A = this chain, B = another copy of it.
Amino acid sequence: MVARSANVSRVAVSRAFNPHTSLKPEKRALILKVAEELNYTPDRAARALVSGRSHLVGVIVPDVCSPWESQEIDALTTALQNEGFATLLFKTRTDLSMDATLLTYMKGFNPDAVIAFVENVKPTILAGVLDRAVPIYVHYPRETEAGFDRPDADGPLYDRLNVLQYAGIEQAVALMQGYGAKRLAYLTGVYRSGASTAREDTLRKVMADRGLGEPIMVVGDFTYDTAYAATVDLFRVGDGADAVFAANDVGAFGVIDALRHELKLRVPEDVKVVGFDDIEQSHWKSYNLTTVKIDLDERVRALVRLILRRLSKPSAGALEETVQTRLVVRGTVG
């Protein structure tokens, strides 16, 4: 240990770098000064070994490059960095399944917490593999106007972030209906995605309440290309629709482009389109998309709060945070 030889003794250095330890201020200052000159930084691996805290947060995503994910990772990384953590990124295979291999692989890095944006894994499996790290789920509970369901009577069984979609979807449907839409289609996300099925459930409820019947189902997978092709199908093979509600913004872009460039229909005059997420690209003039916004900053703050609370009280009961959605009105409904 360099700093020590240049200076005084051993553990003093450790104390100098830990705020809540007793050390004469002048001594601390001296040590920090020498440390800086010697370009010394405490080794977090060694620290992790004894403290049990790696200050690493594992983030598992299927696609870093989809705009919503990347914007979330961006915000999350910033927030974690401010709290002294670093983001450790892992990608699932294309099939969205988070297999045991990846989990085991990640476990080796000893993350303090794991945020799973992938839904196709049972909480029990994640918790089983990662004995040390605490997993956090993004959950889309079933809702009504009155509030949201709790499948587990006494609070959640795992730490989770509830995303409440009712308000935003209700507003979206109301707007489309207000502009005369009667035959409403829903473009799904990827097969069995929790986010997409929750959106579908809520949409069905809202539409039924408003006398709009059932949505016309269009199968997508959150990507542009699939949305584009599915929309062409809907109008060429199927009976079309006068409004399309997409499970995410990128899908909505595919719908709009298929409508305008392939089917020569006007948006919003002939067909209205609403998306979900409100990503950066949604305000681009070519799309100018009306969409249900999830407040990213709020969502990320909630996530970070969850992590910090859990780490400061490892034995606490399951934690929970809740964020809302709301409609952002732009130019694709009118």
With a cutoff of 8 Å between Cβ atoms, the chain B residues found around residue A258 in the complex are: 285
Per-residue interface assignment for chain A, residues 206 to 223, with 1 indicating a CB less than 8 Å from any chain B CB and 0 otherwise: 000000000000000000
Question: Which chain A residues in 59-90 approach chain B with CB under 8 Å?
Answer: 63-65, 67, 69-71, 73-74, 77-78, 81, 86-90
A110 to B49, CA, bound (A): 14
Question: Which chain A residues in 99-126 approach chain B with CB under 8 Å?
Answer: 104-110
**A65 pairs with B261, CB closer than 8 A:** no
Among the stretches A5-13, A35-43, A163-171, the one at the interface with B is A35-43
Per-residue interface assignment for chain A, residues 33 to 60, with 1 indicating a CB less than 8 Å from any chain B CB and 0 otherwise: 0000001011111101100001110000
Contact status of A228 and B91, CB under 8 A, knowing A74-B64, A128-B39: no
Number of copies: 2
Per-residue interface assignment for chain A, residues 10 to 26, with 1 indicating a CB less than 8 Å from any chain B CB and 0 otherwise: 00000000000000000
With a cutoff of 8 Å between Cβ atoms, the chain B residues found around residue A77 in the complex are: 64, 89-91
With a cutoff of 8 Å between Cβ atoms, the chain B residues found around residue A69 in the complex are: 70
Which residue of the partner chain, among B67, B74, B107, B128, contacts A63 with CB atoms under 8 Å? Answer: B74
**A109 pairs with B89, CB closer than 8 A:** no
A228 to B285, CA, bound (A): 10
Q: How large is the interface on A (under 10, 10 to 19, 20 to 34, 35 or more residues)?
A: 35 or more
Which residue of the partner chain, among B89, B256, B286, contacts A87 with CB atoms under 8 Å? Answer: B89
Judge whether A95 is part of the interface by a CB distance below 8 angstroms.
no
Judge whether A140 is part of the interface by a CB distance below 8 angstroms.
no
A89 to B81, CA, bound (A): 9
Judge whether A280 is part of the interface by a CB distance below 8 angstroms.
yes
| Shortest beta-carbon contacts, A-B, top 9 | A70-B70, A64-B74, A257-B285, A286-B286, A65-B74, A87-B89, A65-B71, A261-B285, A45-B45
With a cutoff of 8 Å between Cβ atoms, the chain B residues found around residue A42 in the complex are: 108
Which residue of the partner chain, among B46, B86, B224, contacts A89 with CB atoms under 8 Å? Answer: B86
Nearest CB in chain B: distance from A53 CB, A: 10
With a cutoff of 8 Å between Cβ atoms, the chain B residues found around residue A107 in the complex are: 41
Nearest CB in chain B: distance from A73 CB, A: 5
Contact status of A109 and B63, CB under 8 A, knowing A88-B86, A281-B281, A285-B228: no
Judge whether A186 is part of the interface by a CB distance below 8 angstroms.
no
Q: A44-B109, A81-B91, A86-B109 are in contact. List 17 more A-B contacts (CB 8 A).
A: A41-B107, A43-B110, A44-B110, A45-B46, A45-B49, A45-B109, A56-B88, A64-B77, A65-B67, A65-B70, A67-B70, A70-B70, A88-B89, A89-B89, A257-B286, A260-B285, A260-B286
A48 to B286, CA, bound (A): 50
With a cutoff of 8 Å between Cβ atoms, the chain B residues found around residue A284 in the complex are: 224, 253, 257
Judge whether A131 is part of the interface by a CB distance below 8 angstroms.
yes
**A81 pairs with B90, CB closer than 8 A:** yes
